[in-house]
Amino acid sequence: MAKKIENILIVAWLTSFTAMLGSLYFSVVRQFEPCSLCWYQRILMYPIVIILLIGIIRRDTTAAIYSFVFSIIGILVSSYHYANQKLPFLQDAVPSCGRVPCSGQYINWFGFVTIPFLALTAFTIIAVCSLIIIRNTKERE
Residue 68: domain span: 3-139
- DSSP-assigned letter for residue 113: B
Give the tens place of pLDDT for each residue, 78-95.
999 999 888 877 777 666
What pLDDT was estimated at residue 139? 66
CATH number at residue 96: 1.20.1550.10
* CA atoms in the 13 A half-sphere facing the CB of 115: 24
How far apart, in whole angstroms, are the C-alpha atoms of residue 70 and residue 99? Answer: 26
Say how many domains are in the chain: 1
Confidence (pTM): 0.92
